[in-house]
Amino acid sequence: MLPVVALVGRPNVGKSTLFNRLTRSRDALVADYPGLTRDRQYGQAEVEEHPFIVIDTGGINGDEEGIDLLMAEQSLTAIAEADAVLFLVDARDGLTSADYGIADYLRKQDKRIFLVANKVDGIDADSAVAEFYALSLGEEVHKIAAAHGRGVTQLLTLALTPHIEALSQPKVVDAEEGEFDGDYERELSEAELEKQIEEAPKENDTIKLAIIGKPNVGKSTLTNRILGEERVVVFDAPGTTRDSVYIPMEHNGRSYTLIDTAGIRRRKNVTDVVEKFSVIKTLRAIEDSNVCLLLIDAREGISDQDLSLLGFILESGRSLVLAVNKWDGLEEHAKDRIKTEMDRRLGFIDFAKIHFISALHGTGVGHLYESVEEAFISATKRISTAMVTKILDMAAFDHQPPMHNGRRIKLKYAHAGGYNPPIIVIHGNLAKKLPQSYKRYLMNYYRKSLKIMGTPIRIQFRETSNPFAGKKKLTFTEQKKMARATQGYNKDNK
């Protein structure tokens, strides 16, 4: 479960600057997918490769008497959702009555509060922050310069310390699947390859399915349709994602856990604040799921919010099934329009199945299970070193890697680095110099060869170190290995 960090403070203390710095790397990743946008109120970030959710609550104006009335509802909700709160103050402006008011409120909360003095660059920081100790929020005032990144990593590492061990990371395969001996004879018949590819999870594996979508897209309707068809008694089973409901069910002998981010509650009981901040539990549901079913409203088309949610799913590496809801009753020209829009804006999602459904009437809902199970099997498939190396050899034989500065890029072997999503690690000489076009070729080749559908594939490239570097005198065995390596290099460059 991803921890949540809330940025709190009066206007113009640098919350947005810190937010943008924290989410910059995530924004760069999202920019690789055409058309994706981000909501500036929330985002995903990383500190030392540990992911977390960050919320920019907006400015708070108030005083020691009226802070409960003047503090924005969204800020109150964000603080309630947060695992850690960064209370930003302006080291240049000094202490204000609004700072006192916010501090009074925060002291009453059972939260980990960090008092952060921003804009300390170019001034005597120790002298500037001395007055903020009067706020009585711990023994330390953390000094940062958000605009330049000074002190930011140390601050976030400290804030997330209790959660770092529990942060979601790809599960690594067994050591015997993650190591590879270069002298291993990689002979694998086509029949053996096919047999390994079709390896499926055990029958008792449970698929955790999260139904994701913006408000009013039909999440509750689809959830009730699925549960109604299966005649399962609905009960609240609090899970690891806050405010989401975990519902066990079965379909055709397969166990599912339905993660309902809508909460199966009556509309009148859903307040505006809950709707505004449903993104928090949605992001956590995405992280905790195996497969995400993203609902899109056929009558509204693809919105920026849809694309933002899609971006979070892709970044999390979760399997994906797309469902266009409210399809019944649309005129043919409207159906053609939405299909054209999806081809244009979602054409890069070539691995995900798209279904056109009506959650209200049940049209097309039954076929969702097929795509969900296919995506789950693809995402959790165990793949051996021999298999992925064999496929790498076949890909290089069909289309050899390009040259780099007169040298042929040589890909030596590959191994599985994890699953959900499948991670393939490729080792070779100059492997990191491969152009994007060849990386896409390898990804598509692996997808086709492994019959992977419904889940992204991540490929990592690692340079093979030279075992003879720095050695003036080689043993007889090392001389033979070097001769073989040189012979292979010379053949590639003839």
For position 472, what pLDDT does the model report?
60
Phi, psi of 211 (to 5 degrees): -95, 115
Q: What is the pLDDT of residues 294-326, one digit of tens each?
A: 999 999 999 888 888 898 898 888 999 999 999
Residue 38 has pLDDT above 60, yes or no: no
Q: pLDDT class for 41, splitting at 50, 70, 90? A: low
Find, among 54, 68, 39, 111, the residue nearest to 276 by Cα.
39
DSSP state of 282: H
Measure the CA angle with vertex 86, ends 81 and 92; round to 5°.
150
Region 31-57: mean pLDDT is: 61
**Token code pair at residue 331:** 């005129």
> Are 10 and 87 a contacting pair, CB within 8 Å?
no
The Cα–Cα gap between 286 and 312 comes to 8
Q: What is the pLDDT of residues 467-489, one digit of tens each?
A: 545 556 667 676 665 565 444 44
> Are 258 and 247 a contacting pair, CB within 8 Å?
yes
Q: pLDDT class for 239, splitting at 50, 70, 90? A: very low
In which region does residue 29 sit, left (phi positive, over 0), alpha (psi from -120 to 50) or beta (all else)?
alpha
Neighbours of 117 (CB within 10 A): 25
Concatenated DSSP letters for 140-200?
Answer: --EE-BTTTTBTHHHHHHHHTTTTGGGS--PBPPPHHHH---TT------HHHHHHHHT--
> Are 307 and 37 a contacting pair, CB within 8 Å?
yes
> Are 9 and 102 a contacting pair, CB within 8 Å?
yes
Cis amide leading into 421 (omega within 30): yes
Domains of the chain: 4-166 (3.40.50.300), 207-380 (3.40.50.300), 385-463 (3.30.300.20)
Q: Would strands 291-297 and 319-325 be described as parallel, antiparallel, or unpaired?
A: parallel
Q: What is the pLDDT of residues 246-266, one digit of tens each?
A: 788 888 888 898 887 754 333
> E-assigned strands of 326-456?
353-356, 403-404, 407-408, 410-418, 423-429
Q: Which residue has the higher pLDDT, 311 or 277?
A: 311
> Are 58 and 74 a contacting pair, CB within 8 Å?
yes
The Cα–Cα gap between 86 and 320 comes to 34
Q: What is the pLDDT of residues 172-203, one digit of tens each?
A: 443 333 333 333 334 444 454 455 445 444 44
The Cα–Cα gap between 342 and 337 comes to 9
What is each CA distance from 199 to 52, 65, 384, 421, in whole angstroms?
A: 34, 65, 11, 16
Q: What is the pLDDT of residues 46-55, one digit of tens each?
A: 887 788 888 8
**Verdict on whether the full-model pTM lies above 0.85:** no
Percent of the chain with pLDDT over 90: 34
> E-assigned strands of 17-123?
42-47, 50-56, 84-90, 112-118
In which region does residue 329 sit, left (phi positive, over 0), alpha (psi from -120 to 50) or beta (all else)?
left
